[in-house]
Structure 1
Amino acid sequence: MDRREIAALLAYIGRLDPRIIRTDEGDARDQLAQWHELLGDVPMATPYGWDARVAARQHIRLSPYQILPSDIARPWESYRRDRLHRHTDPTPSADPDDQAAWTAELLGTRRAVAAGSAQPAQDRAITSGRRGSDPDLEARLREVGSCIPAEARAALAPCRPARAAREAAVAQGRPDPLSVRCDWCLAQAGEPCRQRRIGPDNGVRGTTPRATPHPGRLDLAAAQQAQQPAMA
């Protein structure tokens, strides 16, 4: 806010709480300078929900204490934090090889969101919440398929053998061993089996993930798969 906006805000507050009014010209000038120094970077209003007059009215309505500049600044900082928390940086349109332009566009978008002149980009919201609630979205996800191309999945297979073995089993109609809990190493569903590392004193030093599940987990997954058709 500039000095004229600060003066307008003080006049508005004075109509709601006369305690803030300064009748002496010198006191009024000092008050204006103080509020401008503390609220110079706070806008009077933004297109998306912020209004300093609303924050002032809320404080006067709920608090018995005389309003201070911090009673405007605190809601503004909360407004900024909430918007940045909901913002998921969209990919800049600048050339990725031009690091300066890429960074400048990214920071410019964040500043616009924080200042309230642009809406947060919520890309994650498309897959949040319960699936199946939107039939159009569910159909679109089925049409797109996996977000990892088949070529990239094949290239990553040597780096994640447990996941590759699981995907191959599911593709061939065999039971998925990671869909059940392992009774041997107590690995939870969705987690790979683990193998104990034994020290020279025969004590357990730790565990490491196994590329293949324990045999008992395979048997348990097969038994569960066999029960599903019967239950159906």
Structure 2
Amino acid sequence: MDRREIAALLAYIGRLDPRTIRTDQGEARDQLAQWHELLGDVPLATPHGWDARVAARQHIRVSPYQILPADVARPWESYRRDRLHRHTDPTPSVDPDDQAAWTAELVGRRRAVASGAAAPATHRQITSGQVHPDLEERLRKIGSCIPPAVRAELAPYRPARAAREAAIAQGQPDALSVRCEWCQAQVGEPCRRRRIDRDGYARGNAPRATPHPGRFDLAAAQQAQAPQQPAMA
């Protein structure tokens, strides 16, 4: 902040906390010089979330002590550290053989992020990229990212999923596509084996390898009604 911005900040603080107002001209000049010396490298506001007036108002709102330049500088340092921690240094656009230009662009971006002039460059999500053509062709051939041989080896360890896949492969309705009215299993969840004690309370809730028969009936009824829905609409 330059001296004009420091003066504007002190005027704003004086409206919120009259204790900071200096009526003597010499004291006001010394206060302005002190704040400018300590906050000269702190911007008044940036396009990406920093505002010294907000930091000052927050201190005056929660602290009974008179505000000092450090009460504005500390939030600014926290703001800078947070932005640099979220910045991932994207690959510079210059020739990588030009070491000086490469380093200058990296340093320039970091300074822009630290000063609040630019937003941090974060990592892209894995799903944001395009699928490789070879992978798309493989998925079209096998229908899944898990090869059939591996799926067969995994079948003993996930019997409910194996039974579901076998039923769908044989053209039978997908029982897990509907809610089970017997054990209250939700869509996509396996049925549960509910054992009731003499008092009428459930003692067990182990998953079943096969859905309840009533769930098959509901899935078959839903599958039979599916072709009729467009005509009814």
- Give the TM interval when normalised to the shorter protein: 0.5 to 0.7
CA distance in 1, matches of 2:46, 2:147: 53
CA distance in 2, matches of 1:23, 1:29: 10
Aligned AA for 1:58? Q
Question: In structure 1, what is the equivalent of residue 86 of structure 2?
Answer: 86
Q: Please state how far the C-alpha of 1:225 moved relative to its aligned partner.
A: 3.3
Question: In structure 2, what is the equivalent of residue 59 of structure 1?
Answer: 59
CA distance in 2, matches of 1:138, 1:8: 45
Q: Please state how far the C-alpha of 1:126 moved relative to its aligned partner.
A: 1.0
Aligned AA for 2:76? W
CA distance in 1, matches of 2:100, 2:93: 13
Question: In structure 2, what is the equivalent of residue 126 of structure 1?
Answer: 125
CA distance in 1, matches of 2:2, 2:103: 29
Aligned AA for 1:27? E
Distance 1:138 1:63, change over 3 A: closer
Distance 1:138 1:92, change over 3 A: closer
Question: In structure 1, what is the equivalent of residue 31 of structure 2?
Answer: 31
Q: Please state how far the C-alpha of 1:13 moved relative to its aligned partner.
A: 0.4
In structure 2, list runs of 5 or more residues that go unmatched.
Answer: 136-145, 163-233
Q: How many residues align?
A: 152
Aligned AA for 1:225? L
Question: In structure 1, what is the equivalent of residue 112 of structure 2?
Answer: 112
Q: Please state how far the C-alpha of 1:174 moved relative to its aligned partner.
A: 6.3
1:227 correspondence with 2:226: no
CA distance in 2, matches of 1:61, 1:11: 17
Q: Please state how far the C-alpha of 1:25 moved relative to its aligned partner.
A: 1.0
Distance 1:94 1:39, change over 3 A: same
In structure 1, list runs of 5 or more residues that go unmatched.
Answer: 128-136, 146-169, 176-221
Q: Please state how far the C-alpha of 1:140 moved relative to its aligned partner.
A: 3.6
Q: Which runs of structure 2 are paired with 1:1-232 in the superposition (5 Å)?
A: 1-123=1-123, 125-127=124-126, 137=127, 140-141=130-131, 145=135, 173=149, 225=154, 227-228=156-157, 230-231=159-160, 232=162
Q: CA RMSD in A?
A: 2.7
Decide which structure has the larger Cα Rg and report it.
Answer: 2
Q: Please state how far the C-alpha of 1:227 moved relative to its aligned partner.
A: 1.1
Aligned AA for 2:23? T
Aligned AA for 1:126? Q
CA distance in 1, matches of 2:155, 2:57: 66
State the identity as a percent.
73
CA distance in 2, matches of 1:26, 1:34: 12
CA distance in 1, matches of 2:121, 2:44: 23
Moved segments of 4+, more than 3 Å: 137-145, 170-175, 228-231
